[in-house]
A and B are shown apart, each in its own frame.
Chain A
Amino acid sequence: MGLKRFAVVALALLAGCATPPPPEPGSAASKVLATGPIENVAIGPMRMARENGFLTVSAQLSNTDTHNRTLYYRYLWMGPEGFPVAEVDTWKSLTLYAGQTSFVPAIAPVPQAVDFRLEINTP
């Protein structure tokens, strides 16, 4: 009986230790590179389109806090092989008012870009 209880507790602990599954390829979460825990900022849907040969992206970010928050972000642009095809963008500062939802648009610097990553830093 004691051994069974121990086994149940051990299994529960192991389940707690297990790392969360990686985000599904192509999902919004799979496009985000966080440089730390993203606190009080929710990442919503991302729109990707090609206009005049250049990839354009728009990501929805929401402040879930009751205070204004400043975050830093930049886009990285990837080619068909999954490697960067341009120099990294400049880090940009974004202020989100309490409860505000904002869209962060970007245009790829070169026509070769077919995918992107959104790097976010919340200080």
Chain B
Amino acid sequence: MFLRVSFLTLAALLIGGCAENRSPVLGSGNISYGDPKAVELVTNEFGSTDLQMIAESMTRSLAQSGVLKGRPVVQVYDVMNKTSEYIDTREITTSIKTQLMRSGTARFASDNTDMQSQVDHLKLQNQSGLYKKSTVAKTGNMIAARYRLEGSISSIIKRSNDYKDVFYKFSLQLVDVESGLAEWMDEKEIRKTTER
């Protein structure tokens, strides 16, 4: 009897040991992580690959153009969405800013969305009386942008019984604020076709 119990206990322990989850994954089912840089072809609407390709292409063209000598200060304006889709164009400009910053070719002034929080913070430091005077950021020292970066995205959509063709055109230009001259311009074209 003792032998039988010992054997069963040992067997249960062994089975329990084998059944232990050795993978660093919790849960199961149809969820998985994918390659964020993969070519996304789920639908032919504007997608992650389009955003990444536009940001990559524009950033590298601008950085390599030689216009941004001496890390000038650039102010980024919104990209006008002239397509019929909802596109978060702020994400395109954020990616462009991030990649230009990583390349070390430009510095960025507060843009229209950041400006209010920048002004609020300066006011808080200077007017609230909460901060030690020697550590307070002085007003009137913000750096003005030398260049303005602005652009647009438009689309042409054609449909037939068999096809849906979407053509995107993203244009970006760098304008010298003082002279008003466009110093650099580039565009990226993307065509996506769905065959039904």
- B38:A111 contact, CB within 8 angstroms: no
Q: Which of A54, A86, A93, A111 is within 8 Å of B39, CB to CB?
A: A93
* Secondary structure dominating the interface of A: loop
Whole-angstrom distance between the alpha carbons of A93 and B53 in the complex?
10
Known: A91-B38, A93-B39. A54 touches B104 (CB 8 A): no
- Residues of the B chain whose Cβ atoms lie less than 8 Å from the Cβ of A72: 39
- Give Cα distance in the complex from A56 to B59, angstroms: 14
Q: A52-B64, A54-B64, A107-B63 are in contact. Are A91 and B39 (CB under 8 A)?
A: yes
Question: Known pairs A90-B52, A106-B60, A110-B103. 17 more at Cβ < 8 A?
Answer: A51-B64, A52-B65, A52-B66, A54-B63, A74-B37, A88-B37, A90-B37, A90-B39, A90-B49, A90-B53, A91-B35, A93-B39, A107-B64, A108-B60, A109-B60, A109-B63, A109-B102
B63 to chain A: which residues have CB within 8 Å? Answer: 54, 107, 109
Q: Does B56 contact A (CB under 8 A)?
A: yes
Provide the residues of chain A in CB contact with B49, threshold 8 Å. 90-91
Interface string of B3-47 (1 = CB under 8 A from A): 000000000000000000000000000000001011100000000
Task: For B99, list chain A residues within 8 Å (CB).
Answer: 109
Which of A52, A89, A110 is close to B56, meaning CB atoms less than 8 Å apart?
A89
Q: Which of A53, A54, A91, A110 is the one whose CB lies under 8 Å from B102?
A: A110
Name which of A51, A89, A90 has the most chain B CB atoms within 10 A of its CB.
A90
CA distance A109 to B64 in the complex (A): 9
Query: Assuming the A-B contacts A52-B64, A54-B64, are A90 and B56 also in contact, with contact meaning beta carbons closer than 8 angstroms in the complex?
Result: yes
In the complex the two chains form, what is the Cα distance from A56 to B65 in whole Å? 12
Give the residue name and chain of the A residue nearest to B192 (CB): A93
Q: Which residue of A lies closest to B38 (CB)?
A: A91
B94 at the interface (CB under 8 A from A): no
Is B61 in contact with chain A by the CB < 8 A criterion?
yes
Contact of A109 among B35, B52, B59, B66 (CB under 8 A): B59
> Which 4 residue pairs of A and B lie closest in terms of their CB atoms, listed nearest first?
A107-B60, A52-B66, A90-B52, A54-B64
Query: What residues of chain A lie closer than 8 Å to B64, measured between beta carbons?
Result: 51-54, 56, 107
Is A5 in contact with chain B by the CB < 8 A criterion? no
Q: Mark B58-83, 1 if CB is under 8 A from A, else 0.
A: 01110111100000000000000000
Q: Give CA–CA (A54, B100) in the complex, Å.
A: 13
**Which A-chain residue is minimally distant from B57 (CB atoms)?**
A107
- A100-122 contacts to B (CB < 8 Å): 106-111
